[in-house]
Amino acid sequence: MAAPYASGMAYEQKTRPSDEPVLEFLRSVEPARRRAQGLQLLHIFREETGAEPRLWGRSIVGFGHDRFTYATGHSGEMMRVGFSPRKAALTLYGLTLYGSNADLLDRLGKHRVGKGCLYVTKLEDVDLDVLCQLIRRGWSDVDTFTESHPQALVEPVEPTRQPSR
């Protein structure tokens, strides 16, 4: 059910968790180079989060599942961290929320940052150890979201566990 905005307009979340198989999606990604990078990211994200992936929408591989609710009643769901092997670039989610992690981004290698996404053209152009640190921080850091949205309550839908190291 869509929650109303303060203006009274209803909002329907577009990117929702799906039951479509993640491996089936990743094996269908073109070109082959991007498919291989997607499969490599799947392995990295699994290792760093200790979680199983879930497809969000048609093309985002997410890890973790949180629900947020604002004081206005507006609510939604989000993955904790994730990625999408898009044609133009690999899009990584949950690693750069609201300007966080500048210390690691300085050492990452070639990338671009959007409002809430990190864009990498080739995994070969980034330091994978630094990427792993970003994933671990994104996985464990709900505080960045709640600090930037002080009226929001965030609750895990799926239990979040820390990977064993």
Q: Output the six-digit token pair for 39.
A: 């499969």
- What's the pLDDT tens digit per position in 78-133? 888 999 999 999 999 999 876 678 999 999 999 999 888 999 999 999 999 999 99
- Choice between 148 and 121, residue whose per-residue pLDDT is larger: 121
Widest Cα–Cα separation across the chain: 48
Higher pLDDT, 42 or 67: 42
- Residue with the bigger pLDDT between 40 and 155: it is 40
Distance (Å, whole) CA 111 – CA 106: 10
What is d(CA 48, CA 31) in angstroms, rounded to the nearest whole number?
26
Q: If DSSP codes are grouped into helix, strand and coil, which group holds residue 105?
A: helix
> Quick check: pTM over 0.85?
no
Strands (E) located in 8-52: 10-11
Domains of the chain: 18-156 (3.90.1150.200)
Q: Where residue 149 falls among pLDDT bands split at 50, 70, 90? A: low
